[in-house]
Amino acid sequence: MPAAKAYPRRALTALSVAALAAGSLGIWSGTGTAAHAAALPTPDHVVVVVLENHAYDQVIGNAAAPYLNSLAAGGATLTQSYGITHPSQPNYYALFSGDTQGIVDDSCVTPGFSSAANLGSELIAAGQTFGSYNEDLPAPGDAGCRSGDYAQKHNPWFGFGNVPTDSAATFDQFPTDFGTLPKVSFVVPNLCNDMHDCSVDTGDSWVSANLSGYAAWALNNNSLLLVTFDEDDKASGNHIPTLVYGQHVAAGSTTGTAYNHYDVLRTLEDLAGLTAHAGNAATASDVTGIWN
């Protein structure tokens, strides 16, 4: 048996110091929040777009969605991404707060009915910024139930008394200077452009027309675009498309790990450097295997 290789004392000492430092930071540990988030980038801005009621196979690979598929080709695809339940509204609450908050249908809620922790309240408590841009919202901060193609059921932030209503803007207020965006923001198209009432082609064209500029900017400005769906068409086991695009995302990457809205929330929290995790996000997993 060959003798063990001898390292110079100086090199061994340096290695030992590095190992101790890494261990103290949790970098080499398989447990703990620091290790859980160690593989994630630290983007300056994340924009989350939520579309509606389509299964993975209805979008990914569909010629009617050329722009979304271009995001998949240039970014990352979560091939086993899932909604939590049906119908729409509880999924939005799950994605935003790690819990459906007792909601089982799409009925309008009393604004501020919950004081539970959520992504918005966590960001604000940490001195970060949160905002939403809602197409056809009648006026900034309007927590009303329905107006034309706008629906409160797709705006969970209005359900929480710990999220200022003035953080909800109209989509017309989405900035052209993307560097002024909040740390994390949501974009919610109206009931046609989110594919709820209209075609895949309509929704794809809307995302291309309204967010392709931000997506291109994100590639070179330490930012991310995340596109997901609230639920599927109730015929595919709630298997939904989820795409991540921007700087630090490996182009054309995929992950076959099963993730749901709680995992996506956990990832958004950790991308923002938050130490708090709302609801079921506390025991969820970060999205990994897509970062360069």
Domain assignment present for residue 134? The answer is yes
Domains in the chain, number: 1
Per-residue pLDDT averaged across 1-11, rounded? 34
Beta bridge partners of 254: 77
Domain assignment present for residue 130? The answer is yes
- Tell me, what's the pLDDT at 39? 86
Tell me how far apart the alpha carbons of residues 157 and 115 are, in angstroms, rounded to a whole number: 11
- Tell me, what's the pLDDT at 79? 98
- Tell me, what's the pLDDT at 265? 98
Closest among 214, 258, 254 to 238, alpha carbons compared: 258
pLDDT, tens only, 235-269: 999 999 999 999 999 999 999 999 999 999 999 99
Domain assignment present for residue 279? The answer is yes
pLDDT, tens only, 73-95: 999 999 999 999 999 999 999 99
Question: If you average pLDDT over every residue of the chain, what do you get?
Answer: 90
pTM assigned to the model: 0.88
CATH of the domain at 74: 3.40.720.10
CA pseudo-torsion sign 65, 69, 71, 72: positive
Domain of 173?
A: 45-283
Domain assignment present for residue 12? The answer is no
pLDDT, tens only, 218-229: 999 999 999 999
Domain assignment present for residue 56? The answer is yes
pLDDT, tens only, 185-215: 999 999 999 999 999 999 999 999 999 999 9
Tokens 């409160």 sit on residue:
152
pLDDT, tens only, 21-72: 333 322 222 333 433 444 899 999 999 999 999 999 999 999 999 999 999 9
Q: Nearest 5°: phi and psi at 91?
A: -65, -40
DSSP 8-state symbol, 178: G
